[in-house]
């Protein structure tokens, strides 16, 4: 199952009690949750930025890839699209914040990895002009008051892990409120966004739904019986 910052679904067999209970099994579906991993990328500048670019290096699954350059104030969707162009990233969620501090100005992006819960993501490493990305547009304040003292640089970037992926924890056990012996509730499961669809092949309940072909998702479930 996928960790989409939502609840994960795990299948269990209706006949897992060790004996043949096909004739009277009611069944259950168990919901597990795993908090995803998230990382922060931040720009610090002692002067207000007006232009400049950076890129992100990502080492994962034995492959080191680099995003295309993005602007210093790139939007959440723009950074997400740049990350999704990398073949070793499944899906991410990006949030952006900015602030004025006593030291200057900062931009911060939080990247949450929406990936298989078994898969621990690698670390995102920012690179920019004079720091690993020669083809990036320099930040307008990337100057040095003293060429022999690197601490006088007026802008720099860093990344850090904010949260690590947690282990799976069971949070709920699902069962049909009109269950009967032999329904085999939980014989099959499926996810559609935040909806969990649980199959009960021997149930007398009849279900219908509406599929939106333009949006590509289920609109709702109705049942009789």
Residue range 92-135, pLDDT digits in tens = 999 999 999 888 899 999 999 987 666 778 899 999 998 999 99
Query: Strands, DSSP E only, in the chain?
Result: 8-10, 29-33, 38-45, 53-60, 63-66, 70-71, 92-100, 105-113, 124-128, 155-163, 169-174, 188-192, 195-199, 206-212, 217-224
Q: Which tokens belong to 80?
A: 């997400």
For range 66-75, the mean pLDDT: 96
131 vs 160: CA distance, rounded Å: 17
* Average of per-residue pLDDT across 9-17: 51
**Model pLDDT, residue 14:** 46
Which pLDDT score is estimated for 28?
80
Mean pLDDT of 86-97: 94
- State how far the Cα of 221 lies from the Cα of 7, in Å rounded to an integer: 20
CA dihedral 150, 152, 155, 161 (to 10 degrees): 60
pLDDT at 195: 82
Spell 155-169 as b/e; 16+ CB within 10 A means b.
bbbebeeeeebeeee
Residue 54 contacts residue 69 (beta carbons within 8 Å): yes
Q: Is the dihedral of CA 101, 104, 105, 109 positive or negative?
A: negative
pTM exceeds 0.75: no
32-70 pLDDT tens trace: 888 889 999 999 988 888 999 999 999 988 899 999 999
**Among residues 95, 98, 92, 94, which one has the least CA distance to residue 72?**
98
3-state secondary structure of 81: helix
Domain ranges of the chain: 8-34+175-224, 38-163
């Amino acid at each position: 199952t996928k960790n989409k910052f939502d609840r994960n679904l795990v299948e269990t067999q209706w006949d897992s009690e060790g004996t043949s209970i096909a004739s009277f099994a009611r069944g259950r579906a168990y919901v597990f949750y795993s908090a995803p991993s998230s990382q922060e990328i931040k720009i610090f500048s002692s002067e207000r930025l007006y232009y400049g670019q950076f890129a992100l290096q990502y080492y994962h699954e034995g492959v080191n890839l680099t995003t295309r350059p993005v602007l210093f104030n790139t939007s959440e969707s723009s950074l997400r699209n740049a990350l999704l162009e990398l073949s070793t990233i499944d899906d991410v969620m990006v949030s952006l914040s900015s602030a004025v501090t006593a030291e200057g100005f900062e931009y911060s992006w939080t990247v949450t990895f929406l990936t298989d819960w078994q898969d621990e993501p690698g670390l995102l490493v920012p690179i920019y002009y004079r720091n690993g990305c020669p083809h990036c547009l320099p930040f307008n304040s990337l100057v040095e008051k003293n060429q022999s003292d690197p601490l006088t640089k007026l802008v720099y970037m860093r990344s850090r892990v904010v949260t690590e992926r947690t282990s799976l924890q069971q949070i709920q056990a699902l069962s049909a409120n009109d269950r009967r012996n032999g329904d085999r509730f939980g014989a099959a499961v499926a996810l559609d966004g935040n909806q969990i669809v649980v199959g009960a092949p021997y149930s007398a309940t009849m279900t219908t739904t509406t599929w939106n072909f333009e949006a590509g998702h289920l609109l709702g479930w109705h049942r009789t019986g």
